[in-house]
Amino acid sequence: MGILTTTYEFTTPISAPRMFKSFILDGENLLPKIAPQVFKSIEIIHGDGGPGTIKQFNFAEGTEIKFVKHRVDAIDKEKMTYASTLIEGDTLMDKVESISYELKLESMPDGGCKGKNTSKFNTKPGVEIKKRKLRQAKRCLMRLSRLLRPISWQTRMNRFN
C-alpha cells in the first residue's frame, strides 16, 4: 500500500469564520442549496457532526460520482481545521483503501481567507494510481472551490444564513 499526496490552495473573499461555519459546521444544510448542480443532498448517517460522524454526500444527476461517505476525524473550530476520510463511494474505491483530507482556513488582512486542502490517497496493495486520476481528483476540488469566488455564491449564502 502506498500513499499519494496532493495539495490544493485557494482564496476567497469570504471570511474564514464564515467559510468554516458554512462549509464545515452547516455544510450538510447549505451546500445542496447553494450548489444543487453538484450536491443533491448531504446526510448525517451517524453521529452529531463531531469526530466519528459519518456523512453521506449524494451528488446531483449527471455527475460522474453518485455518492461518497466521509468520516469526520477531527474538527477544531478555533484553529479552523477539519479532517475527514472518504470511506465508501463510487469513486476510486477499487484502487484505494481510503482518501484522507485535511482542510485549514486562515484569515487574510483583506477580510477574506485562504484555504489549504491536503488529500492523501491510501492505495490498495499492488495498485498504482495514474497521475491522470490524481489530476482529475484535483480538478474536482478546483471546480468545487469555484463556488467560493462568485458574488452570486455570497448572495445565495446570505439568503440561507
Low-confidence ranges of the chain (pLDDT < 70): 1, 92-93, 130-161
Torsions phi, psi for 137 (to 5 deg): -65, -40
Q: How far is CA 47 from the centre of its chain?
A: 18
Write the CB contacts of 13 (distance below 8 Å, at least 6 apart in sequence). 110, 111, 112, 149, 154
Write the CB contacts of 50 (distance below 8 Å, at least 6 apart in sequence). 72, 75
Single-letter amino acid, residue 51: P
* Spans of all domains in the chain: 3-160
Q: What is the CA radius of gyration of the chain?
A: 16
Q: What fold characterizes domain 3-160?
A: Alpha-D-Glucose-1,6-Bisphosphate; Chain A, domain 4 (3.30.530)
User: What pLDDT sits at residue 147?
Assistant: 56
User: What pLDDT sits at residue 145?
Assistant: 54
User: What pLDDT sits at residue 93?
Assistant: 66
Find where cell 476540488 sits: 141
User: What pLDDT sits at residue 143?
Assistant: 58
The pTM for the full model equals 0.81
User: What pLDDT sits at residue 17?
Assistant: 96
